[in-house]
Amino acid sequence: MRVMITGATGFVGYHTACELIEAGHDVSLLVRSAAKMRRVFGDLPVASYTEADMTDEEGVRQAMFGCDGVVHVAALVSTHAADRKKVLETNVAGVRNVIGQALALGIDNIIHVSSVTALYDPQLTVLTEDSALGSGEGGYGESKVACERYVRSLQGPDNRLTITYPATVLGPDSPEMTEAHTGVQTYLRAFVPMMSSGTQYIDVRDIARVHRLILEGVAPSNRYVLGGHYLSWREHPGFLRQLTGRRPLAIPLNGSLMRLAGRVADRVVPILGKDTPLTAEGLTYATGWILMDNSRVLRELDFEFRPLEVTFKDTIRWLHGAGELNARETGLLAS
């Protein structure tokens, strides 16, 4: 099978490509930088690549030539209020170009990588594949809802257009630091925020394996929640101490005040021109997580997620090897 992948120099796209290559499939990559692609993939056998943006009609068509499947991972990710318009316009144009062209070219084995943000509704207690579209918190959430609405409108009995919904993606071997990696780095280097709620972690290698199984025709449904394992913020310090032997500093933080700080930061950043990890949208999810139900993927694909301990150990060891954590911060895992 020959599969075109967008966002292949990003975390999920890279691991999806590696999983397919290892299984004997060919990959055609759509990348914005050929130099970065060569640095990221090294000696891995990439069948072909096209240097273009996901909104480039001709570039996307060229990358899809001769392909049997498509995995659309690329997205502009930012929860800063100042980026709202750009994020919304870019992501919607990208999904319409990639998914729309794939179907027009007769490629009916397609995966659209969505997000928990597309389903997020603070009034719910559980999110499933059958949940209604969310309200779209902020620009990124709004863009994922709009993309989701478009892709769902194209799903039907005459194609295998599948949507996956990853939670917080973690794991080793990332082409670059992600927000989740920076989070782990902060917990071990500075402090763990003891807020309300928690988050769900999904190993990037598990996402890649699910994508391969879908493309190989194993999956009978056309939507899969990939929530992984839930860990409350209050459980984070003890969990990290168990893995590293170090006692992380835990600082109690009020969820309402943190969301207020995010709203203030959204107003201040455009004025001062200085970036900050605090955003209203990001803190809405962090302090009000809605549990994602994994039962469909576990049942239909006879799937098991890696233990959370394995994901965190591999991630922390990788961060140490990459120079993002020193030996003291890494603790027992440094050896």
Residues 228-264: tens digit of each pLDDT: 999 999 999 999 999 999 999 999 987 676 666 666 6
Q: Return the pLDDT at 277.
A: 56
Q: Return the pLDDT at 168.
A: 94
Q: Return the pLDDT at 209.
A: 98
Q: Return the pLDDT at 274.
A: 46
Residue 49 CB neighbour total at 10 angstroms: 20
| Residue of 204, 168, 174, 162 lying closest to 301 (CA atoms) | 162
289, 198 in Cβ contact below 8 A? yes
Q: Return the pLDDT at 79.
A: 58
Q: Return the pLDDT at 335.
A: 81
Question: What does the alpha-carbon distance between residue 126 and residue 134 come to, in Å, rounded to a whole number?
Answer: 12
Question: What does the alpha-carbon distance between residue 283 and residue 190 come to, in Å, rounded to a whole number?
Answer: 18
Residues of the chain with pLDDT under 50: 272-275
**Structural domains for the chain:** 2-168+203-228+291-306 (3.40.50.720)
Question: What does the alpha-carbon distance between residue 232 and residue 76 come to, in Å, rounded to a whole number?
Answer: 28
Token duo for residue 242:
């168990």
Question: What does the alpha-carbon distance between residue 218 and residue 51 come to, in Å, rounded to a whole number?
Answer: 31
Question: What does the alpha-carbon distance between residue 237 and residue 215 come to, in Å, rounded to a whole number?
Answer: 38
Q: Return the pLDDT at 78.
A: 66
> What is the pTM assigned to this prediction?
0.93
Residue with tokens 């060891």: 317
Q: Return the DSSP state at 125.
A: S
CA 275 to chain centre: 21
- At 163, is the secondary structure helix, strand, or coil? strand
Q: Return the pLDDT at 272.
A: 45
Q: Return the pLDDT at 270.
A: 52
